[in-house]
Amino acid sequence: MVEKISEVEEIIKILNEDFVRELEATMIYVRNAFIMDQCDPSRVTEDIAVDEMRHMNWLADLIVKRGGKPRMVHKELDFGGEDLKSQLEWQIALETEGIESYKQQIDAIDDAEVVGVLKHIVDEEKRHRKEFSMRLERIKE
């Protein structure tokens, strides 16, 4: 059996990595929503950006409750290109990356509250990926 992560400092570190990933997704989605040339994908992307901000709030709450501070430092952002197809493909990839990362954390972390929040985020990220995939299919038709 794999030993679970229970050290508070390590959990805070992981949650901060998640917080930054949600921050980056929020900024990418907001920017892309402004420049998308079709209304429906733009609105959906903007709505999902709001969901990502809510995830940031949940993660920040977990971080602060454990004695940490949310980190706001992020890498240079990749917006996935200038056309709708490449933006949606990139957004799907970001959601998939987040889902896989959260699933690993759920299996590794020994903190029921954190695991519960991460499971809820995974469910939403799966819905986001589906929404982006549906829009991508429509433009391929």
Walking along the chain (141 residues) 10 residues at a time, the average pLDDT comes out as: 84 98 98 93 97 98 98 94 95 98 97 98 98 93 63
Where are the chain's structural domains?
Answer: 8-140
Compute CA 15 distance to the chain's CA centroid, rounded to the nearest angstrom.
Answer: 12
pLDDT at site 2: 61
Residue 98: phi and psi, rounded to 5, are -65, -45
Confirm or reject CATH 3.40.190.10 for domain 8-140, answering yes or no: no
Specify the DSSP class assigned to residue 31.
H
Distances (CA, A) of 29 to 8, 32, 61, 64, 108: 31, 5, 22, 26, 29
pTM for the whole structure: 0.93
pLDDT at 141: 63
| Amino acid 91: pLDDT | 98
